[in-house]
Amino acid sequence: MTRSIELGTTDEFVARHIGPREDDIAHMLERLGYDSLDALSASVIPESIKGTSVLDLPAGLGEAEALAAIKAIAARNQQFTSHIGQGYYPCHTPSPILRNLLENPAWYTAYTPYQPEISQGRLEALLNFQTLISDLSGLPVANASLLDEATAAAEAMTFCKRLAKNKASNAFFASRHCHPQTLAVLRTRAEPLGIEVVVGDENALDDAARYFGALLQYPTSEGEIGDYRALIEGFHAAGALVAVAADLLALTLLTPPGELYADVALGSAQRFGVPLGFGGPHAAYFATRDSFKRDMPGRLVGLSIDRHGKPALRLAMQTREQHIRREKATSNICTAQVLLANIASMYAVYHGPQGLTRIARRMHRLTAILAEGLAALGLPAEQRHFFDTLTLASGARTATLHQRARAQRINLREIDDTRLGLSLDETTTQAQVEALWALFADAGQALPDFASLAARASDRLPAELQRQSAFLTHPVFNRYHSETELMRYLRRLADKDLALDRSMIPLGSCTMKLNAASEMIPITWSDFGNLHPFAPAEQSQGYRQLTDELEAMLCACTGYDAVSLQPNAGSQGEYAGLLAIRAYHHSRGDAARDICLIPASAHGTNPATASMAGMRVVVTACDARGNVDIDDLRAKAEEHKERLAALMITYPSTHGVFEEGIREICAIVHDNGGQVYIDGANMNAMVGLCAPGKFGGDVSHLNLHKTFCIPHGGGGPGVGPIGVKSHLAPFLPGHAAMERQDGAVCAAPFGSASILPITWMYIRMMGGAGLKRASQLAILNANYIARRLEEHYPVLYTGGNGLVAHECILDLRPLKDSSGISVDDVAKRLIDFGFHAPTMSFPVAGTLMIEPTESESRAELDRFIDAMIRIREEIRAVEQGELDKQDNPLKNAPHTAAELVGDWHHPYSREQAVYPVASLLEGKYWPPVGRVDNVYGDRNLVCACPPIEAYQDA
Ligand SMILES: *Cc1c(COP(=O)(O)O)cnc(C)c1O
């Protein structure tokens, strides 16, 4: 007799994603007084919203099965040779950068470097990026990346508006030779702000005085290289500022925008080693004059000193600018593109100035030879001067030529019915140039001979715009040109930092959970990497399936009816969501609705976004328990009922609590004609338990880089899709490459498409049951920490049942009064214990917000809790006078190895300083610098690589 054997998978993912084992879960539940996860979550989720989530998703796949399934999807994409250009170019990602940076968790699992002492490695890489941008653009100050070229251009437009002398103007000139996707995003951004974007030909401009600013493209989207000096001087004379969107690689050969008197240079760093990825993620850059640096959008890395007087890097000035300036912030950008900026900066470190120049020269030579051959075939390029891009007047043959190209797996740019475009790149070969000639030749026409044309073709860069100034002279760009050297440089930088590969990062609101290897593997497959975002739709069927399925899965997770994957960060999702609300009101003839209610506890991006969307922010109060003050909200909603556009509310609240009144709050807003925007950054507490689309939300963004496992990358990339109820679906962002064409919020139709496989893999491997379990564990872990720490530090807010959601706020203000020890001191002391600090002073000053996530094991939770208890004992010793009020391990934290071996003159021991718990003897993280001086850094702003002597002198 045979017996059937139950053959389950042996690589079930859920238990890999979730940290605690079964017996840990039982123990933790017991500690909280519950007998099951369901009983705990039933107690946490308010009655009124219980059961709103029905996760209609298939069961989870094993890791191997899921990888096979996504491989099949990827195989449906077709990799053609792309000559489309238009801001996106194939390039080589150097293998040591691919393996040691892009595929290395030490780099991709890091958080934004707000804690500079544990971030010196990635801060150095970003400073290299800023130096690269500043050198190539010829402008002294560059930021540490923006989201994409088109949004950088939109930021430049509002930047010009703030700073231009011509205050009377509301018109912005944009050259019609800019990339079309840039013009589209400019239009979206301008409309709610009342800015008029005038698209015109800069060569026929006779009304410069009409504008506060202008955007030019260099070289133009079609490939021409013009001398903008006179034009820019004309704008300046009229009180306008000028931004130049420039190709970074071309700037190795061309006079940089700064030397053409541009006020801003911006663009994409994609072709510095970052795959096309169907449009993103890529780092954008933004550089400007020194006098404008305090108005720059995005983040800026600056040099400061640590408490020993040694040079140390940190984020300068606008660190968390939105949290301070709220609706007056210069920009709403929070998550940017740090990982991609670091790839680009390492590409420059690896190639150096000569290597980059060689790449650019070779590309230009090939283009010149190509043009020469095309001319011989009777198809002269329209451009007199060009770098890597040609436009051909292909006339009646255009459609046929595209067809012929596609038959040979080549994509050309479709400019219009009678013209087509061609761009070459780092990967172009002689054979590909010859293939292009063959394509354009008529039957029987003799093909040009490469060798003889190569001997004859001359450069086609304008003589007066040849770059004269040196760039990348700093040693960092001239030292790591062998693979061994680069590998070790990357390792040395990574070793300076704390990322998730070393310890828990308990950042409230930021959800630093596992970024699983199986989720990450597909993103570097060429079937996802080598697609141009504007390639014909039939070539991206794999992406189509991926995005369709992901949209459906995210609808299931949120209870919404439709999803847009286009926004490339949470902030951009907020923006797209408010624009949808605005368009909805307008479509109903309700154009006066422009008031946005925002609770005082909101994340800073909320008010910053509302003002970008042309709304007026009205702040509503919170009560003593941290909940939205419903009476105040009702009063304000009624007061403004004629003009109420929206409420932006975070759920569970930024105070880490499931507010009981959420349904009532949504109803009040709806009753007064407003729409409800639920900020979904805290979705990690809700998936499978309750659904914002079912309890009153009209629209939410999700941060796929929080709840849905895309790594933080040290401050980006991110994806911030929005889900909407059906009445808002017609107002989701469109794109020239999509059915709905207007309202693009970023350059590519699917934003950061190439990292969407991460979330697809996560959801497919977890399945509905696994996702629900993850939320339950996130809640369990947070409550376990809160319960174990509450006798040592008061937990600021809890729900009616004494429970928190997926994070908890510890109130350190009483300790400040009794001991002088601040949240800063505790955060820095945690570094000595090998931990990244929790979120500091958000949403309440003087507190720490801890979010462990479901991925942390009980052992790691206990290690963290023990560190916090130990720190409390140290604080008590200060309170009781056993430790000096100033010279104590908390105030002096973190302690460096150099300090330890130097003259030790503190009243506490070296052991207490660096080995406060015995387990550290086995594995110790050594911060490379002591506590960084913030004030010094802002007073003495240095934002490019300092001369090497600065380090030697110190
Ligand atoms: C992280 C966060 C945001 C902003 O998201 P980004 O992806 O960083 O732009 C907005 N709201 C809340 C509550 C957040 O935690």
Atom of ligand 1 nearest to the CA of 511: 15
597 in any annotated domain: no
Query: Is the pLDDT confidence value at 942 over 90?
Result: no
382 in any annotated domain: yes
Question: Strands 644-650 and 595-599: what pairing?
Answer: parallel
- Does residue 752 line the site of ligand 1, with CB under 6 A? no
The phi and psi torsions of 520 (rounded to 5 degrees) equal -80, -30
Mean pLDDT of 77-106: 98
Residue 49 Cα to ligand 1 middle (Å): 23
Q: Which residue has the tokens 């100033």?
A: 886
Find how far residue 399's CA is from the centre of its chain. Answer: 38
What pLDDT was estimated at residue 318?
56
Residue 682 Cα to ligand 1 middle (Å): 9
Which of 204-213, 336-345, 501-510, 941-950 is predicted least confidently?
941-950
Distance CA 830, CA 871 (A): 8
332 in any annotated domain: no
Give SS3 for 74: helix
**Phi-psi map region of 71: left, alpha, beta (phi>0 left; psi -120 to 50 alpha):** alpha
Query: Is the pLDDT confidence value at 858 over 50?
Result: yes
Distance CA 605, CA 596 (A): 13
Can you read off the two tokens belonging to residue 346?
């390492």
Work out the pLDDT band at 949, boundaries 50, 70, 90: low
Q: Which residues, listed in sequence order, are joined to residue 17 by a DSSP beta bridge?
A: none
Which of 4-8, 227-231, 305-309, 614-618 is predicted least confidently?
4-8
How many C-beta neighbours within 10 Å does residue 24 have?
A: 18
With the most atoms of ligand 1 within 8 angstroms of its CB, the residue from 333, 568, 679 to mutate is 679
506 in any annotated domain: no
Residue 694 Cα to ligand 1 middle (Å): 22
Distance CA 482, CA 759 (A): 36
Q: Which residue has the tokens 């003259």?
A: 903
Query: Is the pLDDT confidence value at 702 over 70?
Result: yes
- Does residue 720 line the site of ligand 1, with CB under 6 A? yes
What's the pTM? 0.97
What pLDDT was estimated at residue 825?
98
Measured CA to CA in angstroms, residue 88 lies from 95, 396, 398, 461 at distances of 20, 27, 22, 21
Which H helix or E strand runs over 617? strand 616-620
Residue 679 Cα to ligand 1 middle (Å): 8
Give SS3 for 276: coil
**Phi-psi map region of 841: left, alpha, beta (phi>0 left; psi -120 to 50 alpha):** left
Q: Which residues, listed in sequence order, are joined to residue 377 by a DSSP beta bridge?
A: none
Work out the pLDDT band at 3, boundaries 50, 70, 90: low
What pLDDT was estimated at residue 626?
84
Work out the pLDDT band at 319, boundaries 50, 70, 90: low
Angle (deg, nearest 10), helices 541-558 and 756-789: 30
Which H helix or E strand runs over 305? strand 301-305
Please name the amino acid found at residue 837. Answer: A
What pLDDT was estimated at residue 639?
98
- Does residue 120 line the site of ligand 1, with CB under 6 A? no
417 in any annotated domain: yes
Q: Which residues, listed in sequence order, are joined to residue 901 by a DSSP beta bridge?
A: none
Distance CA 264, CA 289 (A): 7
Find how far residue 352's CA is from the centre of its chain. Answer: 26
Mean pLDDT of 813-833: 97
pLDDT tens digits for 878-890?
Answer: 999 999 999 999 9
Distance CA 265, CA 257 (A): 6
Give SS3 for 772: helix
- Beta-strand ranges (E) seen in 394-473 are 410-414, 419-423
602 in any annotated domain: no
Work out the pLDDT band at 637, boundaries 50, 70, 90: very high
pLDDT tens digits for 586-627?
Answer: 999 999 999 999 999 899 999 999 999 999 999 999 988 889
Distance CA 785, CA 147 (A): 35
Distance CA 177, CA 221 (A): 6
pLDDT tens digits for 764-783?
Answer: 999 999 999 999 999 999 99
Distance CA 808, CA 715 (A): 23
Domain count within the chain: 1
Residue nearest to atom 5 of ligand 1 (CA): 570
Query: Closest Cα to residue 613, out of 660, 645, 569, 653?
Result: 645
CATH number at residue 372: 3.90.1150.10
What pLDDT was estimated at residue 1?
46
- Does residue 662 line the site of ligand 1, with CB under 6 A? no
The phi and psi torsions of 35 (rounded to 5 degrees) equal -105, -5
Residue nearest to atom 2 of ligand 1 (CA): 681
Distance between start and end Cα atoms, the chain: 81
Can you read off the two tokens belonging to residue 947?
């001369």
pLDDT tens digits for 420-438?
Answer: 999 999 999 999 999 999 9
What pLDDT was estimated at residue 954?
45
Q: Are 729 and 551 in contact (CB under 8 A)?
A: no
Which H helix or E strand runs over 241? strand 241-246
Q: Are 137 and 286 in contact (CB under 8 A)?
A: no
938 in any annotated domain: no
Most confident of 6-10, 664-668, 843-847: 664-668
> Which residues fall within 8 angstroms of residue 252, CB to CB, at 6 or more apart?
136, 353, 356, 357, 360, 467, 471
Angle (deg, nearest 10), helices 63-74 and 756-789: 150
Q: Which residues, listed in sequence order, are joined to residue 724 by a DSSP beta bridge?
A: 562, 699
What pLDDT was estimated at residue 321?
64
534 in any annotated domain: no
Q: Are 395 and 469 in contact (CB under 8 A)?
A: no
Mean pLDDT of 135-150: 97
Work out the pLDDT band at 317, boundaries 50, 70, 90: confident
Q: Which residues, listed in sequence order, are joined to residue 795 by a DSSP beta bridge?
A: 810
- Does residue 169 line the site of ligand 1, with CB under 6 A? no
Mean pLDDT of 151-158: 98
Per cent of the chain over pLDDT 90 is: 92
Residue 477 Cα to ligand 1 middle (Å): 34
Residue 570 Cα to ligand 1 middle (Å): 5
Mean of pLDDT over the chain: 95
- Does residue 716 line the site of ligand 1, with CB under 6 A? no
Residue 854 Cα to ligand 1 middle (Å): 19
- Does residue 604 line the site of ligand 1, with CB under 6 A? no
Mean pLDDT of 635-653: 97
Angle (deg, nearest 10), helices 858-879 and 22-32: 40
pLDDT tens digits for 208-246?
Answer: 999 999 999 999 999 999 999 999 999 999 999 999 999
Q: Which domain holds residue 436?
A: 362-465
Which letter does DSSP use for residue 748 in this model? Answer: S
Q: Are 374 and 453 in contact (CB under 8 A)?
A: no
Please name the amino acid found at residue 603. Answer: H
Torsion from C-alpha of 792, 628, 665, 777, nearest 10 degrees: -20
